Amino acid sequence: MPLQTCASVPGRPVSGLHGLPRFNAAPAAEAEAALLECYGSRRWAKRLADHRPYPDLGALLAAADEAGYDLSPSDRAEALAVEVSPGLPPDAPGSAHLALAAAHAAYESRFGHVLVICLDGLRPAERADQLLAGIRARLAHDPEHERVVTADEMRRLARGRIIELVSSQ
C-alpha cells in the first residue's frame, strides 16, 4: 500500500493543468476532471470549476476549503469512496504491515470507510510511525468526532493536491 499524502492520489495521477492561468483557462469539463483527482466529490469539483478564474492560489485554496465545508454527507461519502488506504513503504518490516492491515480493518469496520490522513510535512522516515500512531488514536474516537477529523483530513489532502495541480513545472 502506498503512503497517502496530500500530493499524491494512488491510481489517480494529477492531470497536466500546471499553472493557475492554464487551470483558469481550461474547459470546464477538463477543470472538473482535474479537480476530481484532488477531491472525489463531483459537487465540490463543479463548484470550484464554475467559480473560475481565481486571481491567485490563495483564492483557489480558500474556495476549496469553503466548498469542502459546504458538502453534504453524501458528497463526503462520494469523495471517501475513491480514496485509498494509506500504507507503508515496501521495505517496512512485515510485522508493521500486518499491524497496519489489522488496524485498517478495525478502522473500516468501526467507521465504514478508509482511513484518510495527510502525511505531508513529515520526513519519509517519520511517516510510518505517524500513520500507525494516527490510526490507533483515531480508533478511539466516537463516530461524530471521527467524522469531523476525516473531513478536516480530506480538506488538507485536497489543498496539497490542488497546489500540485496548479504548480508550474
DSSP 9-75: -TT-PPPS--SHHHHHHS-HHHHHHHHHTTS--HHHHHHHHHTPPPSSHHHHHHHHHHHHHT--HHH
**Where is average pLDDT lowest: 2-16, 54-68, 70-84, 111-125?**
2-16
Mean pLDDT calculated for residue range 6-14: 42
Tens digits of residue pLDDT in 29-51 = 999 999 999 999 999 999 999 99
Question: Which residue type is seen at 136?
Answer: R
Question: Mean of the per-residue pLDDT values for the chain?
Answer: 88
Peptide bond into 53 cis (omega under 30): yes
CA angle 18, 19, 20 (to 5 degrees): 125
DSSP 81-127: HT-------TTS-HHHHHHHHHHHHHHHHHHSS------TTS-HHHH
Query: 2 or 80: which carries more pLDDT confidence?
Result: 80
Query: 10 or 39: which carries more pLDDT confidence?
Result: 39
d(Cα 63, Cα 41) in Å, to the nearest integer? 14
Mean pLDDT calculated for residue range 75-90: 92
d(Cα 34, Cα 134) in Å, to the nearest integer? 29
Q: Nearest-CA neighbor of 20 among 63, 52, 68, 50?
A: 52
Mean pLDDT calculated for residue range 75-101: 91
Q: Nearest-CA neighbor of 68 among 135, 162, 3, 146?
A: 162
Tens digits of residue pLDDT in 92-114 = 889 989 989 999 999 999 999 99
d(Cα 106, Cα 23) in Å, to the nearest integer? 40
Number of residues assigned to the chain: 169
pTM of structure: 0.84
